[in-house]
Amino acid sequence: MRRTEPTAPKRPPEVSFGGRVLFLADDADLIRRQLHEGLDLDLTPELQASLRHQISTDEITPAYICFFYDETLGEFPYLGLEVASPNGGTEAPIERGTVKNAGFICSVAGKRRGKGSSREQSPYAELMAGIKVVVSESIERIYNENCQNLGILTTTDFGLIDRIRSGEPIPLSEFTAGTDDITRQIIEYGGLFEFNMARMAGQVTLPAPRALGGAPAGDAGKPPAVAPNGQPGDSRRASTPRPMTLGEKIFARKWVVDAAEGRIGTGWAEPGEAGFFRADIRFSHEYVTPMAAIFFEQKLGGDAKVLDPDTILFFRDHLTFLHKVMSQERIEQGLLAVANELEVKQREFSERQGIRLYGEQQGHVMGSEAICHSKILEDYAEPGMLIIGTDSHTPHAGAVGALAFGVGTTAIFNSWITKDVRARIPPSFKVVVDGTLPANCTAKDLMLEILRHPYVRDGHAIGQIIEYAGPVVERLSVDERATMTNMAAEVGAFTGLVAADERTVEFLVRERGMPLARARALVEGVHSDPGAEYVKIIEIDATRLRPMVALPGDPGNGLYIDELADTVPIEIAYAGSCTAGKKEDMDMYARVFREARDHWGLGVHPDVSCYIQCGSTDVREYAREQGYLDLFREIGAEFIEPGCGACIAAGPGVTRSAEQVSVSSQNRNFPGRSGPGQLYLVSPYSVAASAVAGRVVGWEPGARVERAGAGGPRMPVLV
C-alpha cells in the first residue's frame, strides 16, 4: 500500500544564501588573495573573461582525494586546479582546508565545468566545504546531475551572483528554469534520494511519455493537450510512431511507464522527454561503491537489501597497483591505508548483498580480474540493453549497440533501490566517416580528429548522444568501435553508439560463444530509422587522416604528429588502459614491435620506460596465446596485469615530475591525470613506434624508425 503522508519536505519556494563567492580565475595570485586575504571580488566583464575554463573533475578532486568518501572530502576541493602563475607557467594555488576555512558558499567558473570523470566526490567535496551554489557558463552533464542529486544548486546565470552573495531571497524557479519536470522536482526536494522516497510513496507526479498522451517534450510542466474526443493527449500523435535514432529507440523500450504495475516501454520517444528507465545492468567500482554503500545504509538501514542483485556488478579495478606508485609522503599521511579501506568496504557490502565482485587476482599475480567497462563489453552487454555504471567511460559498451552511460554515486545507490535511472532523452548528433582509413591510423586517430572539431571543442556536443556511422565505422571491429564509444566521455557526450550489425553478430558468436540465431535476433532493429533527426551531422574523410597526437592538457588539443614544431623526446611510453587494452590493441602493439625487432633489430629505446597493460585477464590470455607476452619482454617492455593504473595516476607508467614527458594510448590527458608531467595522447600504433624511437612519432609500416639520441644503455637494442 502506498503511504500518503509526505516522506521528504520540499525546499521553500524562495532560497536565501548570503556569504562569500569564490571566483576560479586563471590567476594564481587572485585565487590566493580570495583564500588568504579575504578579498571579495565584484563581477566585471574583465573578471568573467579571466575565469578558468575546462575545469575537470580530476582538478576538483585529484584521484588520491577520492580515497575518502565521507565529510572529510570537504577539506579538499580544487586541490588539482592549475592556473596561470606570475612567472608565466602554471601552478595549483589551493591547499587543503583553505576553501572550507574561508567561508565560501558559491563557486564560479567558465565553460565546461566538471568535464571528465564521473566521480561524485567532486561535488560532494564542494558541498562539504560549504559550497551551496555552482555558477558556470556551461556545466557537464554528469557533474551537473551529481550536483542536483546531492542538493547543490547549479546555474549558468551570472546575474544571480550578487543576489546569492547578499542573501536576497531568490525564487527557486531561477534554478529550475529550463529543466525537465523530473529534474525540477529533484531540485525542489533537495536531492535524488529525497525525491525517490516521495516518488515511491506516490507524492510526486511523473510526466507521461508523449507516445501515451503526455505533454510535448518542450512543454515540461504543462498539462496534456486535450484531443477532440475529450481524452488527454494528441491521439494522432500518440498513435503514430516517429522515426527514431538508436538512442531514442532504446529509451522508448526501457521507459518505466508504471513501476507498480511493471509496465515498461512506449512506442516511441523524442529528445527532451524525461522519465525513469529500466537498467539491464548496474555496475560500480571501488572508488564509488563504498560511498554508495554508506548512503544506502544510512538512508535505509544496515539490513536493507538491494533490488535484483543478479543484475548488479562490482569491480576492484582502479587501485590494485596504487602501492607501487604512491609516494612515501602520501603513505606517511595515511592515504594508502585509507585507499585500502575502499576495497574492504566494497567486498564486505558485496558479500552481504550477494553481488558478483570482480576483484583482485588470487595468488602471487598482482592486478584486477578486469577493468569494469572492459568486462561489461566482453561478457555482458547486448544490443539494445540499457546499462549504467559509475565511470565516465561506461559508453564503452555502445560498441555493440547498447545504451550505456555513466552516473554518479547517488544515482547508482538509488538504482539499487528502484532498478531504474532518471534521464532526459538527449538529442543525437552523427559522425559519418567515409573513405578509407590509412594502414597506420586507428579509431584513436579518428577520435582525436573528432575531439578537435569545433562542434566538440567548443562544447556544443555536451550532453548529446554521439552516433558513429559510415563505411569506415562499419568496417571497424567491435574492439575499435569500443575505442570510439569509450571516448564519448572525452567528447562530453551523454554516450556513444554504433548500430548493431554483422560485425556485432561475429563478436557475440566468437567472443561469447552465443548461438548464431540468438545473436542475429538480438541485432535485429538495433539501428536508427531512416529519417531520424540529428541536431548535427559531421562528415570526416578518413582517407585524409594521418597519425594524430593530442598535446598535453586536453584530448581536444589534437594535431597531426608530423605537424609537431619540435622533436618531443619521451621518457615513458604507456600502452594500455580500457581504451587501448583490448585484444586488437595488443595486435597493434605487437605488429609495430615485431617489425622493429625483425627488420631493424630494435627494441624499446634505451631512454624510455615502456609499459603495456591490458583491460582484463581474457586479453592477457589472448596475448599469451599469440606469443605477445614473450615479444614484449624481448623488446624491453614491461607487461602489467589488468587494472586502471597509470591512466588515473595509480600504477606504473605515471610521471614523477613536471619535466617528465610521457606518450600514451589512454583516453585523456587532463592536468595531473597521470602524474605531474607532460602527457601526449596517440594511437596504439604510435605509442609503440614512439617507444622504439624515443620521441613522439607516428608509425610508418615498413619504414625504419629514426631514433632520438640515447643517453645510456638502460634497455637493450636488439641485434
Write down the CATH number for the domain with range 17-168. Answer: 3.20.19
Q: Where in the chain is the domain with CATH 3.30.499.10?
A: 548-693
Phi/psi at 517 (nearest 5 deg)?
A: -65, -40
* pLDDT at residue number 223: 34
Residue 602: CB atoms within 10 Å: 21
- Residue-level length of the chain: 719
For residue 614, CA distances in Å to 204, 368, 651, 683 come to 46, 10, 13, 15
Burial class (CB in 10 A: 0-12, 13-18, 19+), 310: exposed
At position 316, the amino acid (one-letter code) is: R
* pLDDT at residue number 222: 38
Four-residue CA torsion sign, 99, 100, 102, 105: positive
Q: What is the DSSP secondary-structure string of 546-585? A: --EEEPTT-TT-EEEGGG-SS--B-SEEEE-HHHH-SHHH
Strand order in the sheet with 638-640: 558-560, 548-550, 678-681, 661-664, 572-575, 609-613, 638-640
Cα separation of the two ends of the chain: 78
Grid cell digits, residue 324: 607501487
Q: Which CATH architecture has domain 548-693?
A: 2-Layer Sandwich (3.30)
* pLDDT at residue number 719: 23
Q: Where in the chain is the domain with CATH 3.20.19?
A: 17-168
For residue 521, CA distances in Å to 267, 402, 516, 524, 564 come to 20, 14, 9, 5, 48
- Average pLDDT, 10 consecutive residues per value, the chain (719 residues): 51 95 97 97 96 94 84 94 92 96 97 87 96 96 92 97 97 95 94 88 87 68 32 41 95 92 93 96 94 91 95 93 82 85 94 96 83 96 97 96 94 94 96 98 98 94 96 98 97 96 98 98 97 97 98 95 95 94 98 96 97 96 98 97 83 90 94 90 98 97 81 34
